Structure 1
């Protein structure tokens, strides 16, 4: 078990819901961008750093096939238990406890939408960031979507006691490469459960 795995397990074991600084009771900002994706139902959706996000319930209820990744097995256990208890549909989501910067056991060109809210910015080492984008490029199919919602250049420099890498659209585009076209973007001020402002940058891309 890695130090980061232990860190995140401790976070999710000791805090729930609004005790988490990134908790979204209102998921409409992210949903607004998902609604701009032309997704069939069901679509294959990959969520890195799924944690215990309320967004998962929405996508699950919409009938999509979900592949839920997190470094914390505790977070995914909580999420799986919630989906099993709260929904009529058989819990056929897949759960992947893995460092998103390491090679993923995901079929190539199989993902219709890659939805990342507040995960990429935790990767600091260039090798780890490159590993993340290698996974993304291997998994997302042509015509598939990528939504990146990360701390902006005007955002906080730390989250959950960890340093973060702040982003702008130019860096997102540069790291994705010319195969991905920006189709929507927005600077967004998220007010966390403690009343603090957290400036984000949202970028929605399509793979051409």
Structure 2
């Protein structure tokens, strides 16, 4: 399977509240977004959103300009169905973040809790950073979460890369300043614990 086929299969065959990355309430992501983008007019993109409830939570807090991007159309269908009429103001993009055309300086906040640690090829990581630099405005913030350096080596049958805060920030180069970092101990629906590293980066 290619990347698209893999994630389409996942979201068509598994209940979204049973996958290991499921969060009923994305508490840490919400707290960071509130800190870096207190204005409800902030333009926010959630990259690799899957069927995350982050969109629901941001809408309920009054954020008005949301874009949700995932490689799986099936995942986005789940979120749209869950939100019902509330989904209408959201921009939904079923696309690979490495390939999609994103408008320059379109976003104030780039959030990713799901994609970067699956990019095991250096060329893919470089392409991701290029996409981020294009789409984020100067002074905007990127919130990127990956498995921590003691986190899982694999997820959903795929190999992952693991990072400390400094090694993760280093992937993004001199165009970004490391503003903050966090460690999260995520409890999966099956009761396991996965360690995540979050970095908050500001584009110069």
Equivalent residue, structure 1, for 2:84 = 84
Q: What CA distance in whole angstroms lies between the structure 2 residues aligned with 1:159 and 1:50?
A: 16
Q: Which residue of 2 aligns with 1:36?
A: 35
Correspondence for 1:98 among 95, 98, 115: 95
Map of 1:25 onto structure 2:
24
Is the contact made by 1:45 and 1:64 (CA closer than 8 Å) also made in structure 2?
Answer: no
* Residue of structure 2 equivalent to 1:133: 129
In 2, distance between residues paired with 1:109 and 1:177?
Answer: 18
- For structure 1, the residue ranges without an aligned partner over 5 or more in a row are none
State yes or no: 1:142 paired with 2:141.
no
TM-score (norm 1): 0.91
Number of paired residues? 203
Contact 2:183 2:198 in 1 (8 A): yes
Please give the TM-score of this superposition, normalised by the length of structure 2. 0.93
Deviates more, 1:165-174 or 1:115-124: 165-174
What is the distance in 1 between the residues matched to 2:77 and 2:22?
Answer: 17
Q: Which residue of 2 aligns with 1:47?
A: 46
- d(CA) in 2 for partners of 1:39 and 1:127? 34
Kept in 1: contact 2:25–2:54 (CA 8 A): no
Structure 1 runs (4+) deviating above 3 angstroms are none
Matched, 1:4 2:3: yes
> CA–CA distance in 2 between the matches of 1:17 and 1:99?
20
Preserved CA contact (<8 Å) 2:109 2:142: yes
Flag structure 2 segments of 5+ consecutive residues without an equivalent: none
In the TM superposition, residue 167 of structure 1 has moved relative to its aligned partner by 1.6
Q: For residues 52-75 of structure 1, give each alpha carbon's deviation from its aligned partner in whole angstroms, at most 9, with x where no partner exists.
A: 001111112323311111111111
Would you say 1:185 and 2:181 are equivalent positions?
yes
Aligned mates of 1:203, 1:76 — CA distance in 2: 25
Q: Would the aligned equivalents of 1:113 and 1:144 in 2 still touch at CA under 8 Å?
A: yes
Task: Output the CA distance in 2 between the equivalents of 1:83 and 1:137.
Answer: 30
Structure 2 partner of 1:70: 70
Q: Is the 8 A contact 1:47 1:69 kept in 2?
A: yes
Q: 1: distance between equivalents of 2:40 and 2:114?
A: 25
